[in-house]
Chain A
Amino acid sequence: MTTTITADTAKTTPAPDKGFIPLPEKTARALATVGGALTVLSAFLAWTWTSAFPGDLTVYGYPGGLQWLALIGGALTTAFGLASYGVKGFRWLAPSGADAAIKLSALAAFAVIWYTVIAIVVKLGAIVDLEPGAGIAALVSLLAVIGAFALPFERPSLEGPDPDDTGWDKFKHEAGNKWTTVKASFASGPATPARVLPSWAEILLIAAVLGLGLTVFTYGITTPYQELFIGFLITTGFGAAALNKAGLMGRVTTLTARHRNVALVGAFAAAAAFPLTQTDDQYANLGVNILIFATVALGLNIVVGLTGLLDLGYVAFLGVGAYTAALVSGSPNSPFGVQLPFWAALLAGAAASMIFGVLIGAPTLRLRGDYLAIVTLGFGEIFRISMNNLDGVSGPDITNGPNGVANIPNINLFGFDFGAAHTIAGFTIGRFANYFLLMLLITLIVVLVFRRSAESRIGRAWVAIREDETAAEAMGINGFRVKLIAFALGATLAGLAGVVQAHVQYTVTPDQYQFANAVPPNSAFLLAAVVLGGMGTIAGPLVGGSLLFLIPNKLQFLGEYQLLVFGFALIILMRLRPEGLIPNRRNQLELHPEAAAPTVLGKAGV
């Protein structure tokens, strides 16, 4: 039975614009704004009496730990509330309308406060462990949410159910309608045109945004305990959604698109500043691993995002690079017994990866679609198992089998020892910070390679192949050759990252390069980083990769449920935002055709 409407169930007229909670609009708006302000104040109260809960939430007059996050949520709510009143000085906050942003930021404060309260009760064991401050915070944040959800919104026009439907069909229909309504309540309007700023002011703005980005990222990476990290995820998740709905993200995108090189240089300067903000090397270690993972994801984006080749064994190319570097860099386990200088090892790793890329690509790239995925999956596993077997028992002794190539010496570049801490201009840069900066350079190379190749004849050919291979061939593109170039280029970039990885981790073992594993990097996570972040963009895989590395690292209490949670999170995200966190504008148009379609696109649509 189709769901076409019969004559007697006409479209129900859209309900008059009102919120989910029956309150007059003025009251609702005031409640949300004041609730937000009170949430800010409540962050200054003591929430618990003992410092057994991490973060020291016991002090009146000074927020600590999770209270800062609550404060930020409350402040955002208030600011968007004031913007919705049109208060001078706040209007710029919401070029696309403030109501959806109020809802999301109120949710941010609410979620983080209630999470904290529950976490305190669970951790300390009883409700009496709460101070009245916690109750006040919970109450005012609830009020802000009530106010926010009482704000009227434009109701979508819904279709009534088909009277012939069975109960289940009716239920599905009703649920679908409710979902449409909920989505409509978070809709935001088109952005008002931006005020024209002089170019230096725009560049300053970009710098400010990058500074903010660095602060947020550093905060997330250095969260010392997992409650704070979960709070951080909640706040940044809802907060970023609020900024997006308010239209601020769109503004920033326009700005960075206009000053692309400034944004690129600025972003790398900000990233380079990260190890300088650290006093010990612990988080630089995390940082360099994130960079390696994100860079490899960006390399994969050439293969998957631009050319549309599903590669399920990509981590093997990282492994080829790492093993090559390990074997030629003077490890005692290496049968070759040579110690090439770093630049030579880097070239060797990249070249070996490229050769493997061509060897794998040449026979398989004549296949299309699923076949390629299967073959690459097989290659990834073959690589790992071969490395396992080259141990002198099952084969020649080259890789030392499952024990891996160990004791890889640190890089020494022009007398600069990457293994030692250096003090430059008062900043102490430890071992991992050294590698972080080196890896950042490699990331910059990969970003440039991605950008320049994407915006050229070959990049257009890749996209054409992705869009329609037959038509692309009819346009004179040698599909096999172009795909092979993409495949080999992707492999080479992964190889570069692999060389650094070998040195950072001292040891290269086959188990680091699995198809799926609870810890990144592995092929499944790499692919997820690309899809999650946004296919075909530069920032997408970098952000997606950072998140996918950070989350398993910080939430180790999940233990063996990690992959389960990860799977659920991926499903939810793909349901809500199939185009990825940082979408290519083209994908966004493809997946949300109903969204206002500014048909004119800028360069490469990124």
Chain B
Amino acid sequence: MTTTTTAPSTAETVLDARGVTMRFGGLTAVRNVDLTVRSGEIVGLIGPNGAGKTTFFNCLTGLYIPTEGEVRYKGTVLPPKSYKVTAAGVARTFQNIRLFNNMTVLENVLVGRHTRTKEGLWSALLRLPGFHREEKASREKAMELLEFIGLDSKAEHLARNLPYGDQRKLEIARALASDPGLILLDEPTAGMNPQETRTTEELIFAIRDKGIAVLVIEHDMRFIFNLCDRVACLVQGEKLVEGTASEVQGDERVVAAYLGEPFEGAPGAEEAAAVEAAEAGAAEAVAAQADAAEAEAEAEAEAEAEAEAEAHSTTSTDGEAK
């Protein structure tokens, strides 16, 4: 895998957020955060729950107007309206999936094309010559994107009927449809199994290879450290540290505030070994680890169950009834 292609620092700055502060009444959700994203870069944003990551995202995309500070996209200040931000070239996905559930997969992507198409009401009503041409071009572009994320065979399905992983992908495709120069992904792998996470990872690399800069919020550390050229850690609304994956991973403050100390002793070490083995790309190792983990989990569950049975043998039926 090509995880180590660091972007040259001379690359054009796509996103430049300076001193972004967001206050809700007395609560400062984001305090004086600076962040830059250069073209061809994947930047990660991590931090504990409630650290202000999504609020910061909302400031970037015009959903909130930052109390202080400014956000520039390719040198121009972003307007404080989310549809204008999208038109300028910054697309986003949402933490909790927000697809247009009762539209088809294709229509969802077509909605994403909105800013890049021009036909208005008159053109639609009178079916002017440009209408069919533009409609056809939009459809082709949308199908291309669906092919890119691997949902072209489900183009006519309702978005609500897609499995969870596909819904996440469709959200990304919908965001890509606006031809962005920067895409903001808010927890793109939340709730995914390891395999789906893997595909998403590859998808994000592919997006980067299209020349689109990526800013991603995620809690899955392995995913973040695999993916990102740079990682910033947000804690209580403030940027604690920014740097390469290993720098952030090693930073004491980040460990204290978010990552936590690894356990002393056997399980941690074993796990680390397994991770390393997996990353070496040996499929058998992955399987073995999964098996081991499963066995471990089973053993643990059994032990727990027994303990619980002993402890609450008299009240267990009641507990179940509830």
Contact = CB atoms under 8 A, between A and B. Distances in A.
A477 B98 contact: no
Contact of B83 (A7, A448, A463, A473): A473
A590 B100 CA distance: 13
B216 to A, nearest CB: 16
A580 to B, nearest CB: 15
Nearest to A468: B98
Given A467-B103, A586-B102, A599-B161, A458 B120 contact: yes
B58 to A, nearest CB: 10
Given A474-B82, A477-B83, A599 B111 contact: no
A453 B156 contact: no
B124 A460 contact: no
A4 interface: yes
A460 B103 contact: yes
Contacts of B177: 475
A457 B114 contact: yes
B135 interface: yes
A261 interface: no
Interface string B283-322: 0000000000000000000000000000000000100111
A10 B98 CA distance: 39
Nearest to B317: A7
A476 B87 contact: yes
B51 interface: no
A471 B100 contact: yes
Contact of A474 (B86, B113, B127, B138): B86
Given A457-B114, A463-B100, A471 B107 contact: no
Nearest to A445: B125
Contact of A489 (B83, B103, B121, B317): B121
A478 B125 contact: no
Contacts of A473: 81-83
B66 interface: no
B129 to A, nearest CB: 14
B63 A470 contact: yes
Interface in A500-543: none
Interface in B74-99: 81-83, 86-87, 91-92, 94, 98-99
A457 B124 contact: yes
Contacts of A587: 102
A471 B101 CA distance: 11
A489 B122 CA distance: 11
B161 A474 contact: no
Contacts, number: 129
A472 B81 CA distance: 12
Interface residues of A, number: 41
Nearest to B127: A452
A597 interface: yes
Interface string A580-606: 000000110110000001011110010
A467 B111 CA distance: 12
Contacts of A373: none
A472 B107 CA distance: 12
Given A457-B114, A601-B158, A471 B119 contact: no
A452 B125 CA distance: 6
Interface string B34-68: 00000000000000000000000000010100000
Nearest to A478: B83
B89 to A, nearest CB: 10
A478 B161 CA distance: 27
Interface in B104-151: 104, 107, 110-115, 117, 119-121, 123-125, 127, 131, 134-135, 138
B157 interface: yes
A456 B124 contact: yes
Interface of A: 2, 4, 6-7, 448-449, 452-453, 455-461, 463-464, 467-468, 470-479, 485, 489, 586-587, 589-590, 597, 599-602, 605
List 3 A-B pairs, minimum CB-CB distance, nearest first.
A476-B115, A456-B124, A476-B86
Given A460-B107, A474-B98, A475-B177, 11 more contacts: A452-B124, A456-B131, A457-B117, A457-B134, A457-B135, A458-B121, A474-B61, A474-B82, A474-B91, A476-B178, A599-B156
23 contacts: A7-B317, A7-B321, A456-B135, A457-B134, A459-B124, A460-B107, A461-B111, A464-B103, A468-B99, A470-B82, A471-B99, A472-B111, A473-B82, A475-B83, A475-B86, A475-B111, A475-B174, A475-B175, A477-B111, A478-B83, A586-B102, A601-B157, A605-B104
